[in-house]
Amino acid sequence: MSEGILRVGVVGTGALGSHHARVFAGLPDAKLVSVFDLDPVKAKSVGEPFGAETAGSLAELIDRIDAAVVAVPTVAHAEVAAKLLGAGRHVLVEKPITSTLEDAEALVALAAEKHVVLQVGHVERFNPAAEALQRIGTPRFVEVHRLSPFPNRSLDIDVILDLMIHDLDLLLALDKSKAVQIDAVGVPVLTDRVDIANVRIRFESGLIANLTASRVSAEKIRKFRVFGSRLYASCDFITRKAQVAKLVIGETGAPEIRMEAIGSGTTDPESEPLRRQAKAFVGACAGRHAPVVSGADGLAVLRMAKEILDKMGGMGPTGQS
């Protein structure tokens, strides 16, 4: 870092990489300096509007930056992130952290060895609606629906690693106890991988979570509901708003439900989860705080996702568990 400005590069300039480039280009404590993609024309079209140079190779990008976003296909996460970390560069890698547990463990160890930040892009942690989850002291039951129309991306992985993994990350952040029972069903519909799935998880704490994920639905839904002791939180990750209902004793001495609204909605540019994630990454790179979603967090979520796939009789995106 020079003069307190983090020099950032983006590796992979698909739809998500393009958004990362836009977001980092707009941060006051960061500067988008370089982008790299196997398609140089695509890379130039993404980086040039923000004054970022198009790197001719990953090595060339590494020479120009302090930190990088890895937004390549999942199967290439491990190779690209390892080169960046090995060169002493901070890394924000998109979810899932890698294709295999062995690769994820290796990245976590490498980041620790090089004393650099490894953050995983579980972006829902930065959704303003997720703040409602912090109000639940002891969660008892979680109900999740994450549904999408059929996408034109991420078809190298199944719906567990594509969509449900966001909610698994939120779940593990909500309850730190061990999962003692997992029941899972899933089927391929339009691809040869699982496209729709339902999972029920029981934790050592007593929490029961029921999660449904689909990428073959007619409408887009992102709902995360948590029930606690005299508390209920309903998060809508599309509107970036949430409501918390709490049972209290009113002035008359009778019980009543008190509602609290959380989140400013999608009209507030500062509420964009990707921007909030980028700001947190810059703060972690500057040493102001630990990564909000660390490499170890990403590894833990991947491990649970693999357990779910094993329960379905399925395997990961490269056929390795």
Say if residue 131 is in the same domain as residue 244: yes
Provide the pLDDT for residue 230.
86
Asked, for residue 219, whether it belongs to a domain, the answer is: yes
Say if residue 134 is in the same domain as residue 171: yes
Provide the pLDDT for residue 251.
74
113-131 tens-digit pLDDT = 999 999 999 999 999 999 9
Asked, for residue 253, whether it belongs to a domain, the answer is: yes
**Residue 36 confidence (pLDDT) above 90:** yes
Q: 92-120 in b/e burial notation, b at 16+ Cβ within 10 A?
A: bbbbbbbbbbebbbbbbebbeebebbbbb
The whole domain housing 241 covers 125-268
Say if residue 58 is in the same domain as residue 183: no
CATH number of the domain where residue 146 is located: 3.30.360.10
**Residue 2 confidence (pLDDT) above 70:** no
**Residue 37 confidence (pLDDT) above 60:** yes
Read off the DSSP letter of residue 301. H
**Residue 310 confidence (pLDDT) above 90:** yes
Residue 51 vs residue 229, higher pLDDT: 51
Calculate mean pLDDT across residues 83-103.
Answer: 97
Say if residue 80 is in the same domain as residue 107: yes
**Residue 1 confidence (pLDDT) above 80:** no
Report H helices in the chain. 15-25, 40-47, 58-64, 77-86, 101-114, 159, 165-174, 273-285, 295-311
Say if residue 181 is in the same domain as residue 248: yes
Calculate mean pLDDT across residues 245-262.
Answer: 82
Say if residue 111 is in the same domain as residue 209: no
Mean pLDDT of the chain: 92
How many CA atoms lie less than 13 Å away from 317 in the CB half-sphere? Answer: 23
Say if residue 59 is in the same domain as residue 148: no
197-225 tens-digit pLDDT = 999 999 999 999 999 999 999 999 999 99
Say if residue 255 is in the same domain as residue 182: yes
Say if residue 168 is in the same domain as residue 290: no
Structurally, the chain folds into a number of domains equal to: 2
Provide the pLDDT for residue 101.
97
Asked, for residue 309, whether it belongs to a domain, the answer is: no
Give pTM, 2 decimals: 0.91
Residue 153 vs residue 227, higher pLDDT: 227
Cβ pair 189, 314 in contact under 8 A:
no
Provide the pLDDT for residue 152.
66
Say if residue 132 is in the same domain as residue 233: yes
Among 28-37, 162-171, 279-288, 312-321, name the one with the lowest average pLDDT. Answer: 312-321
Asked, for residue 112, whether it belongs to a domain, the answer is: yes
Calculate mean pLDDT across residues 62-81.
Answer: 97
Provide the pLDDT for residue 266.
80
Asked, for residue 319, whether it belongs to a domain, the answer is: no
Task: Please compute Rg for the chain using Cα positions.
Answer: 20
Asked, for residue 315, whether it belongs to a domain, the answer is: no
pLDDT band at 154 (very low <50, low <70, confident <90, very high): low
Cis status of the peptide bond prior to 96, with omega within 30 of 0 = yes
Say if residue 139 is in the same domain as residue 262: yes
159-188 tens-digit pLDDT = 999 999 999 999 999 999 999 999 999 999
Highest mean pLDDT: which range of 1-10, 174-183, 185-194, 257-266 = 174-183
CATH number of the domain where residue 47 is located: 3.40.50.720
Asked, for residue 149, whether it belongs to a domain, the answer is: yes
Asked, for residue 207, whether it belongs to a domain, the answer is: yes
Say if residue 154 is in the same domain as residue 196: yes
